[in-house]
Copies of this chain bind each other. A is one copy, B any other.
């Protein structure tokens, strides 16, 4: 049965991010607390910037945004440290195929078994649950006597909206 907000997919055009961000911050507080970590002001600012959209953003994009919205420009290492802690807390993930980061809008277990769909046009990222897929991959790894630490499934392509837009363009 569907819950109140089951949609971890691509948000519609008019989508208001504000409630997502609220939610995120609440879950972040929780996640940091249960891990005995601190959600410091810097980390929170970084998280807000990432969570402000459903897209994957690069570390240097974040630096720019923080510089615009905040006081003095941070050093890259500061952002990377904040990102590390957010990733460790499981509240932000890394999009490996793009060297970028995205906020996790879909609460899930810490052994992340999510297929990531990344639109290469609008940079939007969606996570969908993929238990069966991950089970299958784990079995294959075991068969090769490989000890899995982390599994990464990323699908690069076009979300429905971007696909439609591009279709329209090639028609014209």
| A interface residues (Cβ-Cβ under 8 A, vs B) | 9-10, 96-97, 99, 115, 117, 119-120, 126, 128, 130, 132-133, 136-137, 140-141, 144-160, 163
Contact = CB atoms under 8 A, between A and B. Distances in A.
A151 B154 contact: yes
A140 B144 contact: no
Contacts of A150: 155-157
Nearest to A120: B149
Contacts of A153: 137, 151-153
Contact of A155 (B119, B120, B141, B163): B141
Nearest to A130: B140
Contact of A157 (B96, B97, B146): B146
A154 B160 CA distance: 25
B128 A144 contact: yes
Nearest to A119: B146
Contacts of A117: 141, 144, 146
A148 B157 contact: yes
A148 B158 CA distance: 7
Contact of A133 (B128, B136, B144, B155): B136
Contacts of A140: 115, 128, 130, 133
B147 A163 contact: yes
Contacts of A137: 115, 130, 133, 153, 155
Given A97-B96, A130-B140, A147 B152 contact: no
B147 A157 contact: yes
B147 A151 contact: no
A56 to B, nearest CB: 13
